[in-house]
Amino acid sequence: MPELPEVETVRRGLLPVMQGRAILQAQVNRPDLRWPFPERMVERLRGQRVLALRRRSKYILADLDSGETLLIHLGMSGRILVSGTMLGTFHHDHPAPQKHDHVVLDMEGGARVTFNDARRFGAMDLMPTERADQHPLLASLGPEPLGNGFDETYLTQALHGRRTPIKAALLDQHLVAGLGNIYVCETLFRAGVSPRRLAGNLGPKRAAVLVPLIREVLAEAIEAGGSSLRDFRQADGELGYFQHSFRVYDREGQSCPTDGCTGIIRRIVQSGRSSFFCPRCQR
């Protein structure tokens, strides 16, 4: 499932063709994805101007001049692709319709925004903008890891007394929003912290170290266009490249990349998710 860097990459790719532009036509090709689409979705989108395009956790939010906000979640295999405009130095013509093109938006200026989702685990909804933060998918989210509300004091207090492994704690969207398996593994490696260590036993100093490292890993991933392991594509159809910078994730059995370390990357399963780490470097 796309994590924060992948969703932020898609949002940035959509900015030039959506923010400030009107939705001239909307086409919805099925009644639902993971959940039913909102009632009269085509009517409520058609003719509306996108005032702002923002991200909350792993969700893209398009604020419309109707006073509603379109929520988009990519799910496991969702892609949002842009055609009919210049992206970078290339012009992307409109492709032939595909089987899993479920929502198509024709934008002012000639661009087409297509939501394609083979597995249909994605979602879209419409809600009043003024109450968007109360939406069931958003209401209980923790602070953004790249925002001012996420700092050393907050994380130290949030981890205090927790009897769950630090890996599970950082994946808890109530504690911090948007972090996923890949970037937690990479952060814990840089911090020298074992994914098995109990969060409450980490201590204030080591907890504080995690904050800049989380931001560092996320910033590097966004700069690389995210990670493409299976389905993820940027808005122009290109792959992300951060997977080429993985130090531990998906590197089971390979040598630890730390200079002088003789450790071998291990994989364990925690709460049904794979954790990759160096047992020598991470304590």
| Rounded-to-integer distance, Cα 195 and Cα 207, Å | 13
Q: Is the pLDDT of residue 238 over 90?
A: no
Assign domain 152-246 to a CATH class: mainly alpha
223 catalytic residue (yes or no): no
130 catalytic residue (yes or no): no
**232: DSSP letter:** -
- The reply to whether domains 4-134 and 152-246 share a CATH topology is no
Domain ranges (residues) in the chain: 4-134, 152-246
| Rounded-to-integer distance, Cα 71 and Cα 58, Å | 10
| Rounded-to-integer distance, Cα 59 and Cα 4, Å | 9
Is domain 4-134 annotated with CATH 3.30.230.10? no
99 catalytic residue (yes or no): no
Q: Residues 208-234: pLDDT tens digits?
A: 999 999 999 999 999 887 775 555 455
Phi-psi region of 74 (alpha: psi -120 to 50; beta: other; left: phi over 0): alpha
Amino acid 197: pLDDT: 97
Of 12, 206, 273, 280, the catalytic one is 273
Q: Is the pLDDT of residue 16 over 80?
A: yes
Q: What is the pTM of this model?
A: 0.90
58 catalytic residue (yes or no): yes
Of 11, 58, 247, 251, the catalytic one is 58
Q: Residues 20-79: pLDDT tens digits?
A: 999 999 999 999 999 999 999 999 999 999 999 999 999 999 999 999 999 999 998 888
